[in-house]
Amino acid sequence: MQYDFIKGEILLFDKPAGWTSFDLVNKVKHLLKRKLGVKKIKVGHAGTLDPLASGLLIVCTGAATKRIDELQGMEKEYTGTFEIGATTPSFDRETDIDQRYPTDHITEELIHQSAHFFEKSFEQIPPIFSAIKVDGKRAYDYARENLELELKGRPVTIQTFNITRIEMPEVDIQVICSKGTYIRSLARDFGTELKSGAYMTQLRRTRIGQHHVDNALDVMAFAEFIKNTYTLPAESES
């Protein structure tokens, strides 16, 4: 396959857990600048994934960056695991457990009922440990400085919230949702609905619109391709 990164490409990557979305974008940008011999090239992503999450990250280059807003607005699908009976300040494994809750009353029927309760449109309050900007500052910066911050709810829609495995205290989930949905916040709200607590321990984005992670590139394999296999389009060769 021949790529023209200046004219614009939409690339699907399987982001590894432990990488930030910006880590991956910067890796792609660095590789392309060196290979193409340019000082600048537009590279951006269509929807941030948390560092602890893995899965589909759409990266656009060149003129294709104009489609980022369109791609960000597409329906998204996730799989993951919630830990029931405890909470953390970040709603995931980034921070330590701050409170534990009873779970003896939780049945499989209650778990399924609570999941279906969220299959609707509602106002979701984002995690304070998030990249949302408030007065020019990231929310996670307020959180790490132990500063008080009240985030406003944002409209989201959960089309599907399936429970795929129950082995208490772990519950596996599959969620299809709108732009702007935080699965970490869904874990918090799910725990509340169970009259207990919950936080997210694993998350993987499997789909954005018609784009599926099964068709995504491994970033290190892409690096090898750019360095050793990729050739410039004829009109770009010097």
Name the residues annotated as catalytic.
Answer: 50
List Cβ neighbours of 208 (8 Å cut-off, separation of 6 or more).
Answer: 46, 47, 56, 58, 71, 74, 75, 76, 77
Q: Letter for the amino acid at 219?
A: V
List Cβ neighbours of 7 (8 Å cut-off, separation of 6 or more).
Answer: 62, 63
Rounded Cα distance between 160 and 206, Å, is: 14
DSSP helix, strand, coil percent of the chain (3-state; round to 5):
30, 30, 40
| Full DSSP string of 18-69 | T--HHHHHHHHHHHHHHHHT-S---EEESS---TT-EEEEEEEEGGGGGGHH
Q: Where are the alpha helices (DSSP H) in the chain?
A: 21-36, 68-72, 108-117, 139-144, 183-193, 219-228
User: Contact, 191 vs 197, CB < 8 A?
Assistant: yes
Phi and psi angles of residue 192, each rounded to the nearest 5 degrees, phi first: -65, -40
User: Contact, 16 vs 217, CB < 8 A?
Assistant: no
